[in-house]
Amino acid sequence: MDTEQKIKLVNRLVAGTAIFATMVAIILLLNYYQTSKLDPVESGVIGALVERLDQEPNNEALKLEIRQLDLLARKAYFTSAWQVRTGGFILLFAGILLGILLKILYDLKASIKEPDPEELDNQAARKNSTRWIWAIGGLVFIASLISAYITQDHLANYDDFKLAQLQAVESETASNEIEVVELGVGNEEPGIGNEDAGVGNEEPGIGSEEPGVGNRESGIGSEERDQGPGTTDHGPDPRALGPGSSQYPFFRGFMSNGVSFHKNIPVEWDGASGSNIIWKVAIPRHGYNSPIYWDNKLFLAGGDAEAREVFCYDRNTGEMLWQKLVTDVEGSPAKAPKVTSDTGLSAPTMATDGKKVFAIFGTGDIIAFDMNGNRVWARNLGVPDNHYGHSSSLICWDDKVIVLYDTNNGGKIMAVNVNDGKTMWQHKRNNRISWSSPVLAEIDDKMVILTTTDPLIAAHDLKTGEELWQVECLMGEVGASAAYGSGLVFGANEYARLVAIKPGAEPEIVWENDEYLPEVATPVESDGLLFIGTSYGVFACYNALTGEKFWEYEANQGFYASPIIADGKVYAIDMDGLMHIFALDKELKVIGVPKLGEKAVATPAFADGRIYIRGNNNLYCIGQK
Amino acid sequence: MKILMKIVLVICLMWIVMPVSGQSQARFPKPEFDTGYVQPDPSTPEPRALAMDYFDVFVLILVLSLATYFAIRRRSRGGILLLSVFTLIYFGFFRNGCICSIGAIQNVALTLFDPNYSISLVALLFFIIPLLFTLFFGRTFCAGACPLGAIQDLLIFKPISIPVWLRKGLGLIPFLYLGLAVLFAATGTDFIICRWDPYVGIFRMDARFIMIVLGVAMLLIGLFVARPYCRFLCPYGVLLNWTSRFSKYHMAITPSSCINCKLCETSCPFDAIDIPQEQAPASARQSDLKKFLVYLLIIPLLMGAGAFIGYKSHVFLSKAHSDVYLAELLIKHPEVKNDIDNLDVQAFLSAGETLDTLVKKAGVIRAKFKTGSWILGAFMGLVIGVSLLAQTTHRKNDDYRPDKGNCYSCGRCMDYCPVEK
């Protein structure tokens, strides 16, 4: 075969390989386009079927159909992806082959190039080279110099930065103190005090039905109240109610610590058959907040994009006493903010001081009604930038409603006046968003508010909002609130850790553990035992003083509702509505697992002989029939 | 030929598209409902067996030996070509371009400056062995054992000659790249040679879009400017260039005596053949001597200027370190703490570290840069000075012979020589 014939042959091979590579390339492009369009995760058909499944959760045939469709879509997707990848390799090899053939063709056609007839002027070349070395070397130096002079050294400014931060905090604290003074003057206005006193007098005797209320109305109770911080005439001081308190004024009950002093709590019921269900009523509007009550009035809130409402029930009969829409709040957004369905617009639990009841919603609206459903005041705190939805519950103490308002745009804890909703103090927080609630605790004879967030557990003075101490120990999306007991503050969050902190001016972590961590449910402590409910179904008991794990228990479903200790037992309701009841003991003793009959994520409220549970759709009163 | 060029372009575009599909597959989410399928526990993939790493060293030595044999003993361009294909497949596509001698510079630099880092024996051998071969036999590593060299060499299509002044000017870049690579590695900032390797994305069929574009662009440039990375970027090439100058058994164009037939004069696509030069006239020699002395005096000045500029640049350079960057970001924009989309900041906040600690760490790194930057600047001053100095020397040359520092021992020129052994 002579050279011409070789060239002809290689030419043909080149053309054939080029056509092949081009075809593979076109097929690959089409396949890639198809794969990118046929994303099974975005499949409209499956989406529609999943929506249908939400309405028919027990439709097994539908589940099977979805699974089969999903499997089919995934198979198609991965087959296409495999084709793209395999095709890529074929194309690569075709490209290499083409390159080799082109090289051979080029070599066959190549002839020896004649040298440049002009002699290289070595002197001139060296002169030119010198110029270019100067030019490029100079360019490197000048570019470096310019970059050096336009660069700012922010590390060198760190001391100034710290000073500015400190001044900002001091300035903030100073302005907060001024606010307290100003509003304190307002409290001295005689009209407000008289009005409240009047409201209090409207409901005499209700509390006296309960055994513990006698203490409240005795002289001892009054004395204690007078000594308390921020003492005013605004309703009873829950501390004065004593261990026999019959009220459940906010999230996790008296003192918001998850420990109820009520007795004769039922341990058996069945929602489906109605066994030990004293009454059951449908809740008109969805929400995840937990029930609270004062005397015979039980309160719930509900909310969605259409409207937000507050409901008041007779807790003895389940009769709806009043139902109020939250409308015409100045500053409230025309359109409800976008929130996820698992948080919604009405996740925070309400609070009451026995004269008024307070509710807050994911729109930023906070509202107060009197016990008869008359609106007292309402304001909007600014629409919270919260990707799940605002969920921090309220606490009411003396003349203050405590609001923890952590958002993506910064956080704050504030106290608003129970009478007019005006800010009494406000403390900006340098932390990430959280979904936890403020918790009351009396530490060293001082009432404090405990908060958990990323990255810290902090204590604030209830009277002024001043941050007393903080410990950086948490991270992530903190949903569980703090717990207090045995002289220790407990905080935990999933993917972070569980810590026990000895509070004080210089708080210290006494112990920590990361075996079982809650996502939403707040830990609870009593009698030296600490209980944790996780969102993946493990319920664990620890030695509160040392962190030693005493026992663990695995439920089939996770816990979002916080566990409550009552009547010497621990009550923890899982998301399927099964109440897991354990003895308050360092040995695992399961007393019972009664069923509600519907899903539940809200924390139950306890009264003597009664449990009030909010299911996803109904409110239940459980007790011995 | 234009049609062929278009085909090559289409293929290059295909290479850009392919990795995108690979990435989307890797991020495919799991089903949203319970299927009964038990998700396997994620576990760290098993590291490559050490024996296989040593096998790589064995392959490297074998390939280097064969390349040396083909270049010097056998004088076979065909053998070197086949060896390049093997290297491209094994060290390139099979071993995904890692480990490589070029990147090993950084491992060596880090182990010299960081007492907590211990270089692996394999990385050390990959760094040293090619240098040892080069010291005796010239750059046979570049000829047949470097995957980056191989992919470029195989795609040389119609090389053009680069003017000497441009080569000399651009020849400063590899020194700068080498200096920066050592500085960043020694301070634990980054392995920039690996991060900005233009061909590794092609070897792995997966890379950031910008790197794929860069790789394809380099290959396209390489069709006409032979081995652009080797000549104007490769930091390891600087070390090979130095050692190759001392090689006693470097390949020769002619197997015996050069007859000055000029047939090989245009055969080197890398312009690495020294052509015969007459003795410079006496006047020129005197002028060169004066320039030589001047540049000899200028070198310390250039080094001083470089050290000053390097010192001034240390703040700018240190920003490449993640701790310095983050500390400055948090000081300049404290509000960024609330930006949940800023993963760097959120990772820092989640770790529970305080800003004070971060700033202290950043300060330590900046101090390292302060020292390293002025040394880098002085080094660049020295490089510029020596490059200028080299332009004042003229050597008489009677034969056509390889420029030992820049010759890749590819063997192309040998085929042009009509002289029999």
Give the chain B residue whose CA is nearest to the CA of A386: B340
Chain A residue numbers with beta carbons less than 8 Å from the beta carbon of B176 are 140
Domain carrying residue A320: 200-623
Whether the CB of B362 is below 8 Å from some CB of chain A: the reply is yes
What pLDDT digit, counting tens, does each position of A501-554 carry? Answer: 999 888 999 999 988 999 999 999 999 999 999 999 999 999 999 999 999 999
- The answer to whether B328 and A154 have CB atoms below 8 angstroms apart is yes
Instruction: Look up residue A393 and give its two tokens.
Output: 């519950």
What pLDDT digit, counting tens, does each position of B96-132 carry? Answer: 998 899 999 999 999 999 988 889 999 999 999 999 9
Structural domain count of chain A:
2
Q: How confident is the model at residue A581 (pLDDT cuts 50, 70, 90)?
A: very high
Q: Which of residues 494-513 of A touch B (CB under 8 A)?
A: none
Chain A residue numbers with beta carbons less than 8 Å from the beta carbon of B352 are 455, 472-473, 475
Q: Which of A108, A132, A161 is the last residue of a domain?
A: A108
Q: Is A26 helix (H, G, I), strand (E, B) or coil?
A: helix
Give the chain B residue whose CA is nearest to the CA of A135: B169
Contact A154 B176 (CB under 8 A): no
Q: What is the distance in angstroms between the Cα of A81 and the nearest Cα belonging to chain B? A: 7
State the angle between helix axes of B121-137 and B50-68 in degrees (0 to 180), rounded to the nearest 10.
Answer: 10
pLDDT of res. A4: 87
What is the side-by-side order of every strand in the sheet holding A569-573?
A259-260, A564-566, A569-573, A579-583, A590-592
> How many angstroms separate the CA atoms of B372 and A386, rounded?
46
pLDDT of res. B16: 45
- What number is the average pLDDT over the span A435-457? 92
Whether the CB of A63 is below 8 Å from some CB of chain B: the reply is yes
Whether the CB of A79 is below 8 Å from some CB of chain B: the reply is no
Q: What is the distance in angstroms between the Cα of A21 and the nearest Cα belonging to chain B? A: 7
What pLDDT digit, counting tens, does each position of B155-171 carry? Answer: 888 899 999 999 999 99
Q: For residue B336, give Cα distances in angstroms to A60, A432, A456, B379.
A: 48, 11, 18, 39
Amino acid at B244: S
- The answer to whether B344 and B279 have CB atoms below 8 angstroms apart is no
Whether the CB of A338 is below 8 Å from some CB of chain B: the reply is no
Q: Which of residues 423-452 of A touch B (CB under 8 A)?
A: 430, 432-433
Look at the alpha carbons of B104, B105, B109, B110 in this order and tell me if their dihedral is positive or negative: negative
Beta-sheet strands, E only, within B220-283 = 273-274
What pLDDT digit, counting tens, does each position of B175-209 carry? Answer: 999 999 999 999 999 999 999 999 998 888 777 77
Give the chain B residue whose CA is nearest to the CA of A471: B352
Q: Which of residues 591-610 of A touch B (CB under 8 A)?
A: none
Whether the CB of B414 is below 8 Å from some CB of chain A: the reply is no
- What number is the average pLDDT over the span A460-477? 91
Q: What's the Rg (C-alpha) of chain B?
A: 25
Q: Measure CB to CB from residue B331 to each of A134, A147, A157 and give the nearest one.
A: A157
Q: Which of A87, A108, A129 is the last residue of a domain?
A: A108
User: Out of A10-24, B32-46, B129-143, which region has the weakest mean confidence (pLDDT)?
Assistant: B32-46
Examine residue A536 and state whether it is found in any structural domain, yes or no.
Answer: yes
User: Out of A214-218, B185-189, B223-227, B249-253, which region has the weakest mean confidence (pLDDT)?
Assistant: A214-218
pLDDT at B13 over 70: no
Q: Measure CB to CB from residue B172 to each of A63, A131, A137 and give the nearest one.
A: A137
pLDDT at A288 over 90: yes
Whether the CB of B136 is below 8 Å from some CB of chain A: the reply is no
In the numeric block, the tokens 């001082």 are attached to: A446
Question: Who has greater pLDDT, A104 or B235?
Answer: B235
Examine residue A494 and state whether it is found in any structural domain, yes or no.
Answer: yes
Chain B residue numbers with beta carbons less than 8 Å from the beta carbon of A115 are 262, 265-266
pLDDT of res. A494: 87
Q: Which of A108, A142, A163 is the last residue of a domain?
A: A108
Percentage of chain A surpassing pLDDT 90?
Answer: 54
Percentage of chain B surpassing pLDDT 90?
Answer: 63
Cis peptide before A591 (omega within 30 of 0): no
Give the chain B residue whose CA is nearest to the CA of A73: B31
pLDDT of res. A117: 63
Whether the CB of A158 is below 8 Å from some CB of chain B: the reply is yes
- What number is the average pLDDT over the span A160-185? 53
Examine residue A368 and state whether it is found in any structural domain, yes or no.
Answer: yes
Examine residue A89 and state whether it is found in any structural domain, yes or no.
Answer: yes
Domain boundaries in chain B?
56-276+397-416, 282-390
Whether the CB of A153 is below 8 Å from some CB of chain B: the reply is yes
pLDDT of res. B74: 93
Examine residue A156 and state whether it is found in any structural domain, yes or no.
Answer: no
- The answer to whether A586 and A543 have CB atoms below 8 angstroms apart is yes
Which residues lie closer than 8 Å to A137 by C-beta, 6 or more apart? Answer: B172, B302, B380, B383, B384, B387
Instruction: Look up residue A342 and give its two tokens.
Output: 């698992």
Question: Do A223 and A81 fall within a single domain?
Answer: no
Question: Do A81 and A210 fall within a single domain?
Answer: no
> How many angstroms separate the CA atoms of A289 and B60, rounded?
69
pLDDT at A580 over 90: yes
The count of CB pairs under 8 A between chains A and B is 203
pLDDT at A168 over 80: no
pLDDT of res. A210: 36
Q: How do strand A564-566 and strand A259-260 relate by DSSP bridges?
A: parallel
pLDDT of res. B67: 96
What pLDDT digit, counting tens, does each position of B94-103 carry? Answer: 999 988 999 9
Q: How confident is the model at residue B378 (pLDDT cuts 50, 70, 90)?
A: very high
Contact B338 A88 (CB under 8 A): no
- What number is the average pLDDT over the span B412-418? 91
Q: What is the CATH number of the domain that holds A385?
A: 2.130.10.10
- The answer to whether A511 and A542 have CB atoms below 8 angstroms apart is no
- Give chain A's mean pLDDT: 83
Q: Which of residues 181-210 of B touch A (CB under 8 A)?
A: 205
What pLDDT digit, counting tens, does each position of A305-328 carry? Answer: 889 999 999 999 999 999 999 998
Question: Who has greater pLDDT, A81 or A227?
Answer: A81
What pLDDT digit, counting tens, does each position of B254-273 carry? Answer: 998 899 888 898 899 999 99
pLDDT of res. A166: 66
Q: For residue A569, give Cα distances in angstroms to A196, A573, A623, B394.
A: 38, 13, 16, 98
Which residues lie closer than 8 Å to A324 by C-beta, 6 or more apart? Answer: A309, A310, A369, A373, A375
Report long-range pairs for A335-342 (Cβ below 8 Å, ≥24 apart). Answer: A335/A305, A336/A304, A336/A305, A336/A362, A336/A363, A337/A362, A337/A363, A337/A383, A337/A384, A337/A386, A337/A389, A339/A386, A339/A388, A339/A389, A340/A387, A340/A388, A340/A389, A342/A388
Q: Measure CB to CB from residue A129 to each of B21, B366, B391 and give the nearest one.
A: B391
Question: Do A90 and A234 fall within a single domain?
Answer: no
Q: How confident is the model at residue B310 (pLDDT cuts 50, 70, 90)?
A: very high
pLDDT of res. A491: 95
pLDDT of res. A255: 85
Chain A residue numbers with beta carbons less than 8 Å from the beta carbon of B169 are 129, 132-133, 135-136
pLDDT of res. A373: 93
Q: How confident is the model at residue A370 (pLDDT cuts 50, 70, 90)?
A: very high
pLDDT of res. B77: 92
pLDDT at A209 over 90: no
- What number is the average pLDDT over the span B376-383? 97
pLDDT of res. B8: 52
- Give chain B's mean pLDDT: 87
> How many angstroms separate the CA atoms of B284 and B98, rounded?
50
Nearest alpha-carbon partner for B110 in B123, B128, B91: B123
Contact A129 B205 (CB under 8 A): no
Examine residue A500 and state whether it is found in any structural domain, yes or no.
Answer: yes
pLDDT of res. A176: 45
